[in-house]
Every structure is written in C-alpha cells, then in structure tokens.
Amino acid sequence: MDDSDVGGAAQAVSAEAVDKLTVSWAEMAVEGEAEEFAPAGDDVGEVEVDGEKLWAIVGRFLTAKAIKLEFMRQVMASVWQPVRGVQVTEIQPGLFLFVFYHDTDVEYVLDGGPWAFENNTLVCREVVGGMSPGDVPLDTVDMWVQLHDLPMGYTSQKVLEQAGNFIGKFVKHDDRFVGAPWITFYRIRVSIAVNKPLRRGMKLLKGDKTTCWVFFKYERLHKFCFFCGLMGHVHTFCLKARESRVPVDKLSYGAELRAGGNRGSARGVGESWLIPVGGKPLPMPMSEPESDEGDGGRPVEGRRGGGGSGSAMPRGGEVVATGKRRREGQQGCVGSEDGDVAMNDVSKNLCMAGATIQPRPSS
C-alpha cells in the first residue's frame, strides 16, 4: 500500500468520525428541545390586550403592485366604519393585519366581502387564538354567486349546495327566499380558489336525461382576466393572452360575469375609525345616540344597510361633497338622473372597496 492509499483511508475514517459526531450532537439537541412548555394562567390562549378582547383578520390583496399602507387603511376604515375602531399594520411585505375590538365588526368584514382596494380583491381570514398570522392560508375568497336559469324542480337547498361545491366550496344559502318554487336567480355563498379560473356556468343534466345551461354571476367581482379567468390581473397584462393574440371581443370571459348593482354613496375619510398602534379602542357606542352628527355616539345597527347610502361624519368635522362630474360611462360613486356621475370629494377607491348595494333576487 503506497502513501496515497494510506492518506485516502485516513481521510475516509476522519469523515466518518465527523458524521457520527454530528449525528450525536443533533440527537442531544433534539432531546433537549423535546421538553414541553405549558404556560399557566386564566387568559392563556385568549386574544386580548390590556384586558380588551380583540378580533384579528389577516389578509393580502390580489396584486403584484405595492400597496400604500396609509392610503389603504384610510379607505378600508371609511368603508367598514367599525364601531370601536380598527388597527391596521403591515406584518410582512404585502401581508396586513386588521385588529377589531367588537365582534360585529369582524363579522361584517368576513360576511360582507369580498372587499377591494384600487379594484384589487382582499383575500382575508380570521386569526384565532393559537394561530400565527403568517401561517394562515390565504388562497380562497368567499363570494356571493348568482345562479341564473335554474329550471323548476332543481332549486332546492340540497341542489344549490351541490352547485356551490361544483363552483368551489359551498358556504351558506341566502335565507331570504327559502321555499320559493322559482325566482329569477338564486344566491349562494361560495369559497372560491384564487388560483383557479372562475366558472362561467354549468351544464345541468336533468332527470329526463336532457341538459340545460345554468349561468353564474359573481357579486363584487373585482379585477379578473378575460382570457384565463383568474382573479388578480387583467388580460392586457396576461402573458397567455398576449401570446394567444386573440382579439378582445373573442376572449372567453367578459364583464357579464359580474353581477350588476347600483353604487352606494362614498363615505367619509377613515380617520375616525382608525386606531394607532398601541392606542386604545373607541368607547362602546351608546344604545340611543343623541344625534346623527357631531361628537355623539354612533349607532351599531342600521349604519351599514347593504353598503349604506348615508355617510357617517368623522368626529370634529364634516365631509363636504363637491360638484365634480364625469362623463357618462365612467365609473363613479353616485349616479345622477341625466346620465352624468357626481363625485364626492373623497377617493374613488371607496367605490372600489366593495361598499356597494347588491341586487336582490326578484320573485
């Protein structure tokens, strides 16, 4: 055996010894870290700060653009108008935490969406005790979906639930028309995956083996691609659409996928409902506010009304509407009889945030 063979054998033995030592240290570290830590106390697991119970929602917007935090928090607060305020922070790039101090506010946000900022859909979920906000999956958005042209005999809650699972994942029914034999369209709330194309309709196989088409319309459907059907971008910035070179009027999707509805009036700025980091929540509202204006308490009930047609006044001042007008066909906040659109002196993003009056089924 020459010197090179001896050197190679020595190196192999040395490497094997290092590997064994590494495994030994790893096992010792795992054994030490296997000890469990169990916090003690009555408030363990409760989400509260300084004795104030709070509710948290984590969310992201379906856009590749950077979100301007200060502008976004003003818009969302003015749309939601939380009775005890909301605290908005960016916990990771593009990931936001909304902290509320009243259970009705968090219910309104979760059940009333989807919301949007600058026409970018907000995908959000509640953060409960024991969860880390950064680990909450944000891959679905709950939306009201209208089912049009359902034939009689195929409108039961059981069939509607199955249709919801065909679209995405069924969440709940619209209970206002339970038992009606047939209406113009039926509404169901569905959890829809944001990484899959929207469904335009379904081919319904009836009991006599004939088929018919049922068409879908989505309420508060914001930015989506007319080519691939994905939410979060438009066809002008879709690589697949550009490579296909299909004319716009030949694209598979169109604006008809959106459920129509009248715009509600724009609301005031959001400063009255925002809470700075480390600040205290707003006091509980009085059951019978002395006045609708000024510094009096704000009512909990009747302040939203499906998007709201009235604007709550911020404390310490008023929001004054100006007479700006836009040409017919452009998107505005308040429609006028002559076809023009009168704009309030607040951001147009209030209209895009989802505070709209949704259509109701007609019997």
Q: pLDDT per residue over 205-248, tens digit each?
A: 999 999 999 999 999 999 999 999 999 999 988 989 988 988 98
Q: Mean pLDDT score of the chain, rounded to an integer?
A: 76
Return d(Cα 318, Cα 159) in angstroms, integer: 50
Give percent above pLDDT 70 in the chain.
Answer: 63
318 Cβ neighbours under 8 A, 6+ residues apart: 293
* Listed ranges 45-59, 216-230, 271-285; the one with the highest mean pLDDT: 216-230
* pLDDT value of residue 5: 55
Q: Which residues pair with 218 in a beta bridge?
A: 145, 258
Q: In what order do the strands lie in the sheet with 324-326?
A: 324-326, 341-343, 334-335
Q: In what order do the strands lie in the sheet with 95-100?
A: 86-92, 95-100, 55-61, 120-127, 116-117
- What the block records as the tokens of 195 is 């990484």
Planar angle of CA 201, 205, 209, nearest 5 degrees? 150
| Mean predicted confidence (pLDDT) in 45-54 | 68
**At residue 119, does pLDDT exceed 70?**
yes
DSSP characters over 211-265: EEEEEEEETT--SB-TTT--BTS-GGG-HHHHHHT--GGG-S--GGGBPP-PBPP
* pLDDT value of residue 181: 72
Q: Return the minimum-mean-pLDDT range out of 176-185, 265-274, 346-355.
A: 346-355
* pLDDT value of residue 344: 43
Return d(Cα 196, Cα 165) in angstroms, integer: 14
By CB neighbour count within 10 A (0-12 exposed, 13-18 middle, 19+ buried), where does 26 fall? exposed
**At residue 249, does pLDDT exceed 50?**
yes
**At residue 197, does pLDDT exceed 70?**
yes
Alpha helices in the chain (DSSP H): 3-33, 69-80, 103-112, 157-167, 239-244, 349-352
Q: Return the minimum-mean-pLDDT range out of 13-27, 66-80, 312-326.
A: 312-326
Q: What are phi and psi of 17, to 5 degrees?
A: -65, -40
- What the block records as the tokens of 292 is 């609708």
| Confidence tier at 4 by pLDDT (50, 70, 90) | low
Q: What's the pTM?
A: 0.63
Match 């879908």 to its residue by tokens: 216
Task: Determine how many CB atoms are found less than 10 A away from the CB of residue 125.
Answer: 19
Return d(Cα 334, Cα 4) in angstroms, integer: 88
The domain ranges of the chain are 140-257
Return d(Cα 9, Cα 257) in angstroms, integer: 72
